[in-house]
């Protein structure tokens, strides 16, 4: 009988399988050196080093009764990493050969759930859920979401129903926020059911309410968005239509006064908003959100010396059709002082889960993903973004959950939110000069689209393209922007 194989895995795969069990104080005690998975996929392991004594050890994790990976064994510490690794492998093989019941923890509630089994009539199922649950091209997303959802407790009792039917976009947005917070080192409490995320980490507590912008519905019918085929139509869409949509969603949450709950009072409280108002709207609506939050526009031009000049222009209202004007400037509203920041990204979509799934070696192995989009150009005089194109499957491609997240800090907040609370995001501050100062990672995508191709012989494609797997270039005035087609970010 051959020995059970143990293979190394990436931190992306480990985090998707077992990272949700990690305590936020673990990095203060142990450094995680390597991650491993036993043949069969029911046991994973971590090679560690004690930060105080500098010796080496390991942690073995196996599935509990609800199929969540939990710690089942801690190896003795060894003086060398090689010795510790061998002891870890032996413990992992032993755990893999044991009966599944031996790893049950005794505190599990309920039975394992098949999140993708169609539980409702086909007519009720959300089209995106049907695609996710049946299309091979989305198998990486499906397989990375499944272990995540086993840890994401159903606080309000109807997660699966909404995930499969009317609330698909909202639930995907919540899952994104969940993964982002776990990656950032937070542990989440479900003792309270408001707001959506009660998080605690090394830098303190953080409370987040998820907000989504949905389509306009009249008399039970989803109305199409206004036309945006010409530059004039796009301008009106971004200057008035979308700010009103963002404003309506944010204001509805503001009226709930989450900060009056005793567990939230005195702590940073954040609204996390995502745009699902129409297909592809999220790839271009960021400027509309910024316009509404700050209540300012920022026309820019180059002077005779090529220096960028930005002239803030205050926006008082937004108006669409025959409806009454809506005040601009969310952060100028009286009750908004209780909101520390608004966070947003156009990456809280299935495409993000698919890309992270590919990085974590989930799915059929026959899905090729090509991502193209716009990124921040850090040249202080740049008036256009840089463009990037990458094959997600290629060696060297990296992505995190927090990549692409924007944090808009409320200049009038009673409880400001330190930047350290969400490291890796882009942080934006409105200053007394009425200009916005941004602290942005070196690679910060502002929008992108991802094409998923399957079934594809991925290794053959990568061999054929060689080094042409990641390209970045600077736009010049008059250059065409990437076409906004395919699966949004």
pLDDT tens digits, one per residue of 297-321: 999 888 888 898 999 999 999 999 8
Of 173-182, 213-222, 248-257, 315-324, least confident by mean pLDDT is 213-222
A 10 A CB-CB count for 38 gives 22
Of 107-111, 147-151, 349-353, 450-454, least confident by mean pLDDT is 107-111
pLDDT of 480 above 60: no
Which pLDDT belongs to residue 433?
94
A 10 A CB-CB count for 205 gives 17
pLDDT of 420 above 90: yes
- Distance between alpha carbon 466 and the CA centroid of its chain, in Å? 30
Q: 204-213 and 269-275 as β-strands: parallel, antiparallel, unpaired?
A: parallel
Q: How confident is the model at residue 264 (pLDDT cuts 50, 70, 90)?
A: very high
What is the mean pLDDT of the segment spanning 210-228?
A: 88
Which pLDDT belongs to residue 223?
85
DSSP 78: B
With the C-alpha atoms ordered 26, 30, 31, 36, is the resulting torsion angle positive or negative? Answer: negative
Radius of gyration of the chain (CA): 24
Q: Report the share of the chain in percent with pLDDT over 70.
A: 95
What is the mean pLDDT of the segment spanning 149-157?
A: 68
Q: b/e per residue, 122-134, with b = 16+ CB within 10 A?
A: eeebbeebeebbe
HSE at residue 355, side-chain half, CA atoms within 13 A, is 26
Q: What is the pLDDT of residues 19-34, one digit of tens each?
A: 888 877 788 899 999 9
What is the mean pLDDT of the segment spanning 196-214?
A: 94
**Backbone conformation region of residue 119, classed left if phi is above 0, alpha if psi is from -120 to 50, else beta:** alpha
pTM (predicted TM-score)? 0.92
Q: Which residues on adjacent β-strands are paired with residue 437?
A: 429
Q: How confident is the model at residue 46 (pLDDT cuts 50, 70, 90)?
A: very high
pLDDT of 475 above 70: no
**Whole-angstrom distance between the N-terminal and C-terminal Cα of the chain?**
47
Q: How confident is the model at residue 140 (pLDDT cuts 50, 70, 90)?
A: very high
Average pLDDT over the chain reads 90
Q: What's the CA gap between 261 and 40, in Å, rounded?
A: 46
Residues 119, 129: contact at Cβ < 8 Å? Answer: no
Q: What's the CA gap between 149 and 16, in Å, rounded?
A: 10
What is the mean pLDDT of the segment spanning 108-126?
A: 84
Domain boundaries, the chain: 6-103, 122-344
């Amino acid at each position: 009988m051959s020995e059970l194989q143990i293979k190394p895995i990436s931190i992306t795969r480990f985090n998707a399988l077992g990272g949700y069990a990690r305590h936020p104080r673990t990095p203060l005690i142990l450094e995680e050196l390597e991650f491993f998975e036993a043949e069969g996929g029911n046991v994973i392991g971590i090679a560690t080093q004690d930060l105080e004594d500098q010796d080496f050890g390991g942690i073995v994790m196996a599935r509990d009764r609800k199929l969540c990976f939990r710690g089942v064994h801690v190896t003795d510490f060894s003086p060398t990493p090689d010795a510790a690794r061998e002891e870890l492998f032996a413990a992992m093989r032993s755990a893999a050969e044991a009966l599944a019941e031996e790893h049950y923890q005794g505190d599990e509630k309920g039975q394992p759930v098949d999140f993708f089994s169609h539980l409702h009539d086909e007519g009720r199922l959300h089209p995106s859920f049907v695609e996710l649950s049946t299309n091979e091209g989305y198998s990486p997303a499906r397989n990375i979401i499944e272990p995540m959802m086993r840890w994401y407790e159903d606080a309000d009792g109807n997660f699966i129903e909404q995930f499969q039917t009317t609330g698909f976009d909202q639930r995907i947005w919540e899952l994104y926020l969940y993964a982002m917070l776990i990656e950032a080192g937070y542990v989440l409490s479900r003792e309270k059911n408001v707001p959506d995320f009660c998080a605690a980490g090394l830098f303190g507590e953080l409370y987040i309410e998820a907000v989504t912008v949905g389509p306009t519905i009249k008399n039970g019918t989803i109305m199409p968005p206004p036309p945006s085929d010409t530059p004039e139509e796009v301008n009106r869409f971004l200057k008035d239509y979308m700010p009103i949509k963002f404003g309506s969603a944010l204001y509805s949450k503001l009226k709930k006064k989450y900060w009056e709950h005793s567990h939230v009072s005195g702590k940073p409280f954040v609204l996390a908003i995502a745009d699902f108002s129409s297909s592809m709207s999220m790839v271009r609506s960021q400027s509309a959100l910024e316009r509404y939050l700050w209540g300012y526009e920022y026309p820019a031009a180059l002077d005779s010396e090529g220096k960028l000049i930005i002239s803030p222009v205050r926006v008082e209202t937004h108006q669409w059709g025959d409806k009454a004007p809506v005040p601009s400037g969310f952060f100028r509203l009286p009750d908004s002082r209780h909101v520390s920041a608004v966070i947003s990204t156009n990456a809280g979509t299935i495409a993000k889960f698919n890309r992270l799934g590919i990085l974590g070696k989930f799915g059929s192995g026959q899905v090729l993903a090509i991502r193209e989009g716009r990124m921040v150009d850090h040249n202080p005089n740049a008036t256009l973004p840089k463009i990037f194109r990458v094959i997600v499957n290629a060696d060297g491609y990296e992505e995190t959950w927090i990549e692409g997240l924007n944090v808009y800090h409320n200049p009038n907040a009673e409880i400001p939110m330190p930047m350290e609370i969400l490291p890796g995001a882009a942080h934006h501050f409105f200053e007394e000069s009425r200009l916005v100062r941004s602290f942005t990672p070196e690679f910060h995508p502002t929008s992108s689209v991802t094409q998923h191709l399957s079934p594809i012989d991925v290794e053959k494609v990568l061999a054929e393209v060689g080094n042409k797997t990641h390209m970045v270039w600077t736009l010049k005035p008059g250059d065409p922007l990437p076409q906004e087609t395919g699966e949004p970010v």
